[in-house]
Each structure stands twice: as C-alpha cells, then as structure tokens.
Amino acid sequence: MTKLGQWLCGLALLGSAWAALALAPPGLRLPAPYRQALLPLPVYLLVAFGCYSLATVGYRLATFNDCEEAAAELQEQILTARADLRRRGLRF
C-alpha cells in the first residue's frame, strides 16, 4: 500500500468515527460539553496539521545542505554550453 493509501485509509477511519459520534446515533447520548468540542474537531485537526506542515518545511529549509561541488560542476557546464553556443554563432 502506498503512503497516500495509508493516509487516505487513516483519514477515512477518523472521519467515519467522527461522523458516527457527531451525528449522535439513537443509542449514544454524549454530554453537551463533549458534543460542543466534537463538532469543530476536524477544523482544529486541519489547523494543527497546517502548523505541523509549516514547521516541518521551515525546519527542512533551515537545515538544507549546500552542494558546493554540484554548484561548481553546474557553473562549469554553463560555461561550456555558452562557449559552444558562441562557436555556433549565438550572441548573448
């Protein structure tokens, strides 16, 4: 199973559990404070997931490694390509 499939199965499981509790089946009576906290729960989870995602992206950007060898190789390839294009008559 792919990672997307795992996430979708988990979301479907949580969503169905939330719907079962939020729709208040006849045999289940939740106290009012629990019910008031349960209804906006998906919005809270979405905000928490967004915060986690932003923090993860920020951390990965802060600890991103520089590849100086690759940068030097790319600069060399650019110079070689420019020289080849000049030889063929292209002006920059």
pLDDT given for residue 31 in this prediction: 83
| Radius of gyration, CA atoms only, the chain | 27
Which residues of the chain are under the pLDDT cut of 50?
Answer: none
CA distance 40 to 16: 15
pTM for the model:
0.59
pLDDT given for residue 36 in this prediction: 85
CA distance 25 to 47: 27
pLDDT given for residue 66 in this prediction: 83
- What are the domain boundaries of the chain? 1-30, 31-91
pLDDT given for residue 27 in this prediction: 78
Quick check: 92 and 82 in contact, CB under 8 A?
Answer: yes
pLDDT given for residue 3 in this prediction: 93
Number of C-beta neighbours around residue 21 at 10 A: 16
CA distance 42 to 48: 10
